[in-house]
Amino acid sequence: MPEKILQVKGLKVHFETPHGVVRAVDGIDIDVLRHEVFGLVGESGCGKTLSALSILGLVRSPGRIAGGHIYFNGADIVGKDERSLRKMRGAKIAMVFQEPASAFNPVFTIGYQITESILAHQKIGKKRAEELSLEFLEKVHVPDPVRVYHDYPHQLSGGMKQRAMIAMALVNYPQLLILDEPTTALDVTIQAGILELLLEIRQEEDVSMLFISHDFGVIAKMCDRVGVMHKGRIVESGAAGDILNNPRERYTISLLESVKALS
């Protein structure tokens, strides 16, 4: 039986509002096996991104984890102090955010931000950290990595920013990579290039992936297993081929039919 690198059990994320409690994530279970890509698919607002942020301990007030457990390599993350979570983020678990334009700090260069991440998690000198930053920019096929290293985020196209974000996520050799709709803001041609890059990374790097998307075409290309999320719950999960070819739940069938109708 393959080892489970991530186990989410009964996760609940609630928001306290003047009108009552909003159960944004309502008791989900997710397992990600070592070396696999697990897809989390569903319409916008169903709780996919919030689930991912919970894994990293990034849910902010008025939101809170109201129940459940998140086990990473067998240890429960829920309830860990901020110092422990900071050591884990970007090192053992890294995330590629949906909007790289807002994920990067606009007042620092790309190279400075990648190097800063290395120095925060690895015991190496600044010169070696700078060399490693350039190596990973090259690894994700950024043309002219030296120029991009010295560029500010606003000077890069969307596709280049996303490649730089992937480089920063990989540079500390994480065991789990969370990808939150990494191609949504890109045009079709650039999207295809990013997906090919991620497939290449999967072959070459010792990393598991949690791939979040609302696009079944992307999920079919990338994922081994899939969980379908609706209104804060997992309504169906299984092998990607089974879910795509023989869905059982009405909601999953509706999602697939909407894709067919658009195409």
How many Å separate Cα 125 from the centre of its chain? 29
Mean pLDDT, rounded, of the chain = 91
- Answer whether residue 248 shows pLDDT above 70: yes
Closest C-alpha to 166, from 114, 116, 220, 215:
114
Lowest mean pLDDT among 29-38, 96-105, 163-172, 207-216: 96-105
DSSP string of 2-41? PPEEEEEEEEEEEEEETTEEEEEEEEEEEEEETT-EEEEE
* Band of pLDDT at residue 206, cut at 50, 70 and 90: confident
Q: What is the mean pLDDT of residues 97-106?
A: 85
**Rounded to an integer, what distance in angstroms lies between the CA atom of residue 110 and that of residue 145?**
10
Residue 98 is classified by DSSP as S
**Rounded to an integer, what distance in angstroms lies between the CA atom of residue 186 and that of residue 192?**
9
- Answer whether residue 218 shows pLDDT above 60: yes
**Rounded to an integer, what distance in angstroms lies between the CA atom of residue 208 and that of residue 210?**
7
For residue range 115-142, list pLDDT tens digits in order: 999 999 999 999 999 999 999 999 999 9
pLDDT at 262: 46
Diameter of the chain measured on Cα atoms: 56
pLDDT at 158: 87
- Answer whether residue 52 shows pLDDT above 80: yes
For residue range 65-94, list pLDDT tens digits in order: 999 999 999 999 998 999 999 999 999 999
Cβ count within 10 A of residue 144: 11
Higher-confidence residue: 44 or 7? 7
The predicted model scores a pTM of: 0.92
**Rounded to an integer, what distance in angstroms lies between the CA atom of residue 132 and that of residue 123?**
13
